[in-house]
Amino acid sequence: MDFEDEIFSDGLPKVYYKHDDQGRYVLETDAPWAEKVTCALIIAGNRANLEEIRKAVLAGQKSPLCYYMELRQMDPVMLAKAAGIATFRVKRHLRPEIFAKLKPSVLDRYSKALRIPLEELKTVPNR
Amino acid sequence: MTTELAANGKPFVHNHGAHCETAVTSALFRYQGLDISEPMIFGIGSGIFFGYLPSVKLVHLQVTAFRNRPGTVFRKAAQRLGANLVIKTYRDPQKGMNELRQVLKAGHIVGLATNLYWLPYVSERHRHNFGGHNIIALREIEGGFRISDPTFGDPVDCSAEGLERARFVPGPMNPRGFMYYTKSINPHPDLRRACIKGMKNSCGLMLRIPLPIFGVRGMRFLAKRIVKSEVKLGFQEACRHLAGTVRWVEETGTGGAGFRYMYAAFMQEASELFGSEDLARLSRDMTTIGDTWREFSVMSARIIKQRNRPEATFANAGGLILKCADLEEAFFKNLQKAVKKLKA
B20 and B152 belong to one structural domain: yes
Q: Of B41, B242, B28, B20, which is closest to residue B128 (Cα–Cα)? A: B20
With an 8 Å Cβ cutoff, are A37 and B301 in contact?
Answer: yes
* A37/B120 Cα distance (integer angstroms): 25
* A77/A55 Cα distance (integer angstroms): 23
Q: Which of B161, B184, B207 is the last residue of a domain?
A: B184
Which of A53-62, B59-68, B308-317 shows the highest mean pLDDT? A53-62
B111 and B216 belong to one structural domain: no
B153 and B19 belong to one structural domain: yes
Q: Of B139, B155, B178, which is closest to residue B3 (Cα–Cα)? A: B155
With an 8 Å Cβ cutoff, are B250 and A34 in contact?
Answer: yes
Tell whether B227 is covered by a domain.
Answer: yes
Position B174 pLDDT exceeds 70: yes
The number of distinct structural domains making up chain B is 2
Cβ pairs A/B, distance under 8 A? 130
| A77-95 pLDDT tens trace | 999 999 999 999 999 999 9
CA distances (Å), origin B53, targets B218, B330, B331: 9, 23, 23
Q: How confident is the model at residue B268 (pLDDT cuts 50, 70, 90)?
A: very high
Instruction: Calculate mean pLDDT across residues B4-29.
Output: 92
B159 and B207 belong to one structural domain: no
Q: What is the 3-state secondary structure (H, E, C) of B240-308?
A: HHHHHHHHHHHHCCCCCHHHHHHHHHHHHHHHHHHCCHHHHHHHHHHHHHHHHHHHHHHHHHHHHCCCC
With an 8 Å Cβ cutoff, are A12 and B262 in contact?
Answer: no
Instruction: Calculate mean pLDDT across residues B185-209.
Output: 95
Position B254 pLDDT exceeds 90: no
* B152/B336 Cα distance (integer angstroms): 35
What predicted TM-score, i.e. pTM, was given to this entire model? 0.92
B98 and B240 belong to one structural domain: no
Beta bridge partners of B13: B3
Q: How far is CA A73 from the centre of its chain?
A: 4
B124 and B175 belong to one structural domain: yes
B174 and B198 belong to one structural domain: no
Q: Which domain holds residue B121?
A: 2-35+84-184
Tell whether B68 is covered by a domain.
Answer: no
All residues at 6 or more sequence positions from B107 whose CB lies less than 8 Å from its CB, including other chains: B6, B7, B8, B10
Q: Which of B117, B151, B184 is the last residue of a domain?
A: B184
Q: Note the pLDDT of residue A19.
A: 84
Q: Which of B165, B184, B203 is the last residue of a domain?
A: B184
Axis crossing angle, helix B277-304 with helix B235-246, rounded to the nearest 10: 150
Average pLDDT for chain A: 91
B305 and B172 belong to one structural domain: no
Q: Note the pLDDT of residue A20.
A: 84
Q: What percent of chain A has pLDDT over 90?
A: 61
Position A127 pLDDT exceeds 80: no
B242 and B220 belong to one structural domain: yes
Q: What are phi and psi of B174, to 5 degrees?
A: -90, 115
Position B344 pLDDT exceeds 70: yes
* Nearest CA-CA distance, residue A116 and chain B, Å: 12
B127 and B257 belong to one structural domain: no
Q: Note the pLDDT of residue B60.
A: 84
Q: What percent of chain B has pLDDT over 70?
A: 99
B229 and B291 belong to one structural domain: yes
Tell whether B66 is covered by a domain.
Answer: no
- Torsion on CA atoms B83, B14, A35, B282, rounded to nearest 10: -50
Q: Is B176 on the interface with A (CB under 8 A)?
A: no
| B176-189 pLDDT tens trace | 999 999 989 999 99
Tell whether B41 is covered by a domain.
Answer: no
**Does domain A3-121 fall into CATH 1.20.1300?**
no
Q: How confident is the model at residue B20 (pLDDT cuts 50, 70, 90)?
A: very high
Q: Of B298, B278, B302, which is closest to residue B290 (Cα–Cα)? A: B298
Average pLDDT for chain B: 92
Position A21 pLDDT exceeds 70: yes
Which of B7-21, B114-128, B322-336 shows the highest mean pLDDT? B322-336
* B233/A95 Cα distance (integer angstroms): 28
Q: How confident is the model at residue B343 (pLDDT cuts 50, 70, 90)?
A: confident
* B236/B242 Cα distance (integer angstroms): 10
Tell whether B58 is covered by a domain.
Answer: no
Q: Note the pLDDT of residue A1.
A: 66
Q: How confident is the model at residue B7 (pLDDT cuts 50, 70, 90)?
A: confident
Structure letter (DSSP) for residue B214: B
Closest residue in A to B150 (Cα–Cα) = A14
Position B2 pLDDT exceeds 70: no
CATH number at residue B180: 3.90.70
Position A121 pLDDT exceeds 80: yes
Tell whether B70 is covered by a domain.
Answer: no
Q: Of B259, B257, B344, which is closest to residue B23 (Cα–Cα)? A: B259
Position B308 pLDDT exceeds 80: no
B201 and B171 belong to one structural domain: no
ipTM of the complex: 0.89
Q: Note the pLDDT of residue B1.
A: 61
- For residue A45, how many other CB atoms are within 10 A of its CB? 18
Position B216 pLDDT exceeds 80: yes
With an 8 Å Cβ cutoff, are B297 and A32 in contact?
Answer: yes
* B86/B23 Cα distance (integer angstroms): 18
